[in-house]
Structure 1
Amino acid sequence: MKQPIIASLVAFSLFSCQSANNNGDNSQDAQKTVANEYYNFGDSTFSVENAFSAFELVSNFATSREDTAWATVAGPITQVCAAKGCWMSTAIDSNNNLFVDYDYEFLLPTNSQGQNMVMYGYIYWDTTTVAQLRHYAEDRGASQEEIDAITEPVAEYMFKAKGVKIERSADA
């Protein structure tokens, strides 16, 4: 008498586990789909929803009177360090870029210029020295003439990224 009851319990347990695994697989597939839309660098736990453009971020920050402001920003990568991928920039408008670095916590692919990205971190105001500006010019492949023409420090908005997500292309 015990054997039919045990067999029924085992069959029920197997059926229940199989159903739970199927639901888990579907959920995991959905998570993989979202995760596979981006190449992740640094902290990838932030949401890409409700991201500002660099223009919106700078405009809001300029009127806030804060020292720093945390935000998620989306836009194209306009420049990237050709030597190591240790910094990038994204367009504020057609004439200005927002400089982004990550304190060597991660590096971006050196060929990521032109790709769309979403990043999380904070904006702040800082002055970049002549030496640092020349170094960045070297990194982006500027001519010696362009490098020598840099003679003044620049006060500008900067962004410290804690994580960057670069969109995967459709053929990736």
Structure 2
Amino acid sequence: MKVFNMFIMLSIFLAVGHAQDVQQEMFSFGADFKVSGTITGQEMSDRYGSMHVLDTLQTKFKGVVKEVCQAKGCWMKVALEDGKEAMVRFKDYGFFMPKDIAGKEVIVNGLAFIEEMGVDDQRHYAEDAGKSPAEIAKITKPKRTLGFTAEGVILQD
């Protein structure tokens, strides 16, 4: 009986230890929010597809970080599941993201919109991203971008 009880205790200990190993850590930046109601990158892409310049949409979506501002973490590009990406900036520059999170999954909560980004802004962001002078010089026309102002971000590590 004593051996049986020790076996049960050891099994529970191992199960709890394993559960802790597979659990992801989550870090919150900016305003706290609940993750319930979060949509996928594909759903967000579909919503962007039905928007026009000057439209806005309060939402939250999940995606993988493609790129982060290497100057101070003041913006990031988040992949949508169809090859598009959202340019995410942070409300009132109230918080910044770590510069080494490319490839990590995030949930962003805030305001989605479509914008025409001018040449100067595109060049500024390219410089922040560490692009070469030759790459920056190739930027010569405004472009339509999928914008997002995040009030809060959850980083899943």
TM class, shorter-length: 0.7 to 0.9
Distance, in Å, in 2 between the alignment partners of 1:136 and 1:77 is 15
Distance 2:47 2:116 in 1: 20
1:77 is aligned with what amino acid?
V
**Is the radius of gyration larger for structure 1 or structure 2?**
1
User: Equivalences for 1:1-172 in 2 at 5 Å?
Assistant: 37-44=25-32, 46-63=33-50, 67-93=55-81, 95-102=83-90, 103-168=92-157
Of structures 1 and 2, the one with the larger relative CO (CA 8 A, separation 6+) is 2
Deviating beyond 2 angstroms after TM superposition, the runs of 4 or more aligned structure 1 residues are 60-66, 93-96
Contact between 1:54 and 1:98, CA under 8 Å: does it hold in 2?
A: no
Kindly indicate whether the alpha-carbon contact (under 8 Å) linking 2:26 and 2:156 is maintained by their aligned counterparts in 1. yes
Shift of 1:89: 0.9
User: Is the 8 Å Cα contact of residues 76 and 88 (structure 2) preserved in structure 1?
Assistant: yes
More helix by share: 1
Overall identity of the aligned pairs, in %: 33
Return the TM-score normalized by structure 2: 0.77
Give ranges in structure 2 of 5+ residues lacking alignment.
Answer: 1-23
Cα displacement string for residues 17-58 of structure 1 (whole angstroms, at most 9, x for unaligned residues): xxxxxxxxxxxxxxxxxxx831111001x1112311233113
Q: Given the two structures, how large is their TM-score scaled by the length of structure 1? A: 0.71
